[in-house]
Chain A
Amino acid sequence: MKLTKDVNELMEIARRMRVDILTMIHAAGSGHPGGSLSAIDMLVALYCGAMDHGPERKKRDRRDKFVLSKGHGAPALYAVLAECGYFGREHLKTLRQYESILSGHPYAPSTPGVEITTGSLGQGLSQANGLALANRLDGQDTFVYAMMGDGETQEGQIWEAAMTAAHYKLGNLIAFLDNNELQIDGFVCDVMGIEPIGKKWEAFGWHVQQIDGHDFGQIFNAIDNAKKVTDKPSLIWARTVKGKGVSFMERLAKWHGTAPSTDELNKALAELGEKP
């Protein structure tokens, strides 16, 4: 995989990924645009700029791995996996269809590049810990990345896993928190508050950094810092905007799990500078 840290290049990739996300959810007629758009810049930074990986590597080859714990962000993951050549772009339009390789939520056995099967919230961090432990047993100096939603951290298992990662000193684990402040029923602070986020994770024994999750410079900087912390797991607490990049989707719970109509898609693509 040829990686890049060129911000302009990455912004252009992220723009195209947003087009793919919206187009595939529109074609599927269902899916989760809001959380895919809040996460996509971090996924582009990871897959196109930070992670040591590539479709040519075999299952047990040394490589960095990523776990999308907030599995409903699958369209964002599928977009970057296609971009990196894990499968052909023609599959994107089959999202959520019967017998597609792209299930509604990530399913490792059917999708090249997907390490861990998710969709039931709260379970990805434990599995990322397991991958990190396996890598350590194998003496690999690789990293395991994970991404959680902020609403997702209301799940008790997340905190069991947070304890585990600290207890086993998983310095090879770097988890992103996509803090877009929204979940299905509204604002996270109204549904079930999770503050104080930084203090909680620190109290659980994590190294915590807060960043703007749409700023590539800050994302790479945080990853570099996290890699230097070898005796603790790292949380990259990313402040994000749900629906980022499409004006009428931004900061609205409504766009958590609604597919755009054809008109809405065209409007969104126009905003993203894409010719219909």
Chain B
Amino acid sequence: MAEMLALRDYYGKTVAELGKTNKDIVVLDADLSGSTRTSTFAKAFPERFFNMGVAEQDMIGTAAGLAAGGKIPFASTFAIFASGRAWEQVRQAVGYPHQNVKIIATHGGITVGPDGPSHQAGEDIALMRAIPGLTVIMPADAHETAAAVRWAAGYVGPVYIRLTRDKFPVVFNDSKTFTPGKGEHLKKGTDVTFIACGLMTSIALEAAALLEKEGVLAGVVNMASIKPIDHELIVRVAAESGALVAAEEHSIIGGLGSAVTEVVAENNPVPVIRVGIQDDYISSGAPEELLDACGFTAAGLADAARRAVQLKKQAASR
């Protein structure tokens, strides 16, 4: 079993660490600082931490104003509220003027679990990806989270980073760096390639191991940078393996699956199976139960890969 670490813990630690040397960094939260882990920064730098109360729209607006005043604001709340409640504030005050605001949203996806659909953001990536100029990132593990947060602090422009509540298996180590628009080809495969982000990257690696036992060579790409997306890598693995599975803890509409499909359709059409939330609200439940129900397991992903390979064969025999 791989080590398990919470992405949000690494966000909290990293932004507090960055705050030591970069005095322009300020942090805002909307009454969830314990959950998002911005409380770590709040304790270290109370004068640079602003609790905005349960007011996400005002939080984004205030962050935009702080950025306009030369600060580097990190604004955090749950993904559904950051992307949904404050969508038009993100578009108008952050995206449109290319304001230097970092939105670090935790509790994305279904692994929020028992809180149920009101708190399970399955649409946030679609919402944020539609806003021109935003960089949209879903890290695979705690180390990639730290790398993405460090990168965001140095980059001048708007960023959305989607994190989760649960601990995830560790994929990388603490020397991980983040480059926007670049995916990582973690494993090569000639039969099919998984393109995954977030929790799905570690599950895809497991699925590839399962498939290997039955003689199916599945590749794995980690695509934390959902926007900009790595066109070149997607086109390359599409050509090399001829079939893709895009996997994400997000709706099949508008997220990584859509982004991958768009690239493939316009460049090198091959079958793409999208693993994600099937345009639905998922009930309350333990995270493992919900992952199971959605097919977000090694077995579920392996199954999707077999279907992709099947489609490829059908197309070849036509």
A117 pairs with B97, CB closer than 8 A: yes
Size band of the A side of the interface?
A: 20 to 34
B65 pairs with A127, CB closer than 8 A: yes
The reply to whether the CB of A179 lies closer than 8 angstroms to some CB of chain B is no
Interface of chain B, main secondary structure: helix
Give the interface segment out of B85-93, B159-167, B289-297.
B85-93
User: Complex formed: what's the CA distance from A123 to B63 in Å?
Assistant: 12
Chain B contacts of A134 at CB under 8 A?
Answer: 65-66, 68-71
Size band of the B side of the interface?
A: 20 to 34
A128 pairs with B70, CB closer than 8 A: no
User: Complex formed: what's the CA distance from A167 to B50 in Å?
Assistant: 10
Chain A contacts of B97 at CB under 8 A?
Answer: 107-109, 116-117
The reply to whether the CB of B306 lies closer than 8 angstroms to some CB of chain A is no
Within 8 A of A (CB), among B58-98: 58, 60-71, 73, 88-89, 92-93, 96-98
User: Complex formed: what's the CA distance from A137 to B72 in Å?
Assistant: 12
A164 pairs with B92, CB closer than 8 A: no
B93 pairs with A127, CB closer than 8 A: yes
User: Complex formed: what's the CA distance from A163 to B63 in Å?
Assistant: 15
Q: How far is the CB of A254 from chain B (nearest CB, A)?
A: 27
Question: Which of A67, A119, A137 is in CB contact (< 8 Å) with B48?
Answer: A137
The reply to whether the CB of A208 lies closer than 8 angstroms to some CB of chain B is no
The reply to whether the CB of A180 lies closer than 8 angstroms to some CB of chain B is no
Chain A contacts of B93 at CB under 8 A?
Answer: 116-117, 123, 126-127
B contact set with A: CB distance below 8 Å: 26, 47-48, 50, 52-53, 55, 57-58, 60-71, 73, 88-89, 92-93, 96-98
A115 pairs with B61, CB closer than 8 A: no
Question: Which of B57, B63, B65, B96 is in CB contact (< 8 Å) with A156?
Answer: B57
Contact code string A141-160 (vs B, CB < 8 Å = 1, else 0): 00000000000000011001
Within 8 A of B (CB), among A74-126: 107-109, 115-120, 123, 125-126
Chain B contacts of A60 at CB under 8 A?
Answer: 70
